């Protein structure tokens, strides 16, 4: 999906909500709820995001505004871009308390060590760009959840959605192997499962 397509999705979403605003109808009670959710998910995926309260609030403010303007479209897209940037700059995992970390002998996640581990154990060529794209897809899910409660297929789905959103041609079989190796490494250092 490119910028023009995302602007069309946003415009369509705004137009779909218009009848609800006129009737002052709750979204949850609307038959449009499913369609609106699908469109919102496409929009979030474009920015490499999954639903969170913060992202949902930004979307609500956008669709419930009185008038759609080029400025409001740009502001909304800029805000989601900023949120996506914040997600990537957050610490990889600060969900564990110090006591739990000491009890489990948890080691910190060192990105270049993860890359080296995957590169050493993957029987396919891997460049830093491919690894970086997969790492971003993992971080998106990791930063918005308790890592210990996430299954491996949740990570694979998150990475696949991110790769789709950036239109990456990466082979999905290769992606699955890389995610498995990253999770294997995280398990070895006590950060996952």
Does residue 11 carry a pLDDT above 70?
Answer: yes
- Number of neighbouring beta carbons within 10 Å of residue 10: 24
Would you say 6 and 46 are in contact if contact means Cβ atoms under 8 Å apart? yes
8-state DSSP, 24: T
Q: Where are the alpha helices (DSSP H) in the chain?
A: 3-23, 33-46, 53-63, 70-89, 98-104, 111-121, 128-142, 152-165, 172-188
Query: 173 — phi, psi (to 5°)?
Result: -65, -40
- DSSP classification of residue 51: -
User: Alpha-carbon distance 49 to 31, whole Å?
Assistant: 25
Contacts of 43 (CB under 8 A, 6+ apart): 6, 9, 10, 13, 59, 80
Q: What is the pLDDT of residues 150-180, one digit of tens each?
A: 788 888 888 888 889 889 888 889 999 999 9
Mean of the pLDDT values across residues 9-28? Answer: 63
For the segment 113-130, what is each residue's pLDDT rounded down to a tens digit? Answer: 999 999 999 988 998 999
pLDDT band at 66 (very low <50, low <70, confident <90, very high): confident
Average pLDDT over residues 24-50: 64
Indicate the pLDDT class of residue 24, thresholds 50, 70 and 90: low
Query: Can you give the pLDDT at residue 147?
Result: 53
Report the range of poorest mean pLDDT among 64-73, 104-113, 145-154. Answer: 145-154
Which backbone phi and psi does 168 adopt, to 5 degrees? -80, 135
Residue of higher predicted confidence among 100 and 51: 51
143, 89 Cβ separation under 8 angstroms: no
């Amino acid at each position: 999906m490119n910028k023009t397509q995302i602007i069309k999705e946003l415009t369509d979403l705004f137009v779909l909500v218009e009848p609800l605003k006129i009737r002052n109808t709750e979204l949850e009670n609307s038959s449009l709820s499913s369609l609106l959710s699908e469109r919102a998910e496409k929009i979030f995926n474009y920015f490499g995001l999954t639903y969170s309260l913060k992202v949902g609030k930004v979307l609500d403010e956008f669709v419930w505004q009185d008038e759609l303007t080029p400025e409001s479209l740009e502001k909304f897209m800029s805000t989601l871009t900023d949120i996506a940037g914040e997600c990537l700059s957050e610490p990889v995992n600060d969900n564990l308390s110090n006591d739990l970390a000491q009890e489990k002998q948890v080691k910190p996640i060192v990105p270049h060590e993860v890359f080296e581990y995957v590169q050493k154990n993957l029987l396919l060529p891997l460049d830093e760009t491919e690894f970086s794209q997969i790492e971003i897809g993992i971080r998106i899910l990791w930063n918005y959840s308790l890592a210990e409660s996430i299954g491996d297929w949740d990570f694979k789905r998150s990475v696949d959605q991110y790769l789709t959103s950036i239109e990456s041609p990466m082979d999905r079989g290769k992606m699955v192997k890389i995610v498995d190796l990253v999770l294997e490494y995280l398990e070895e250092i006590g950060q996952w499962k």
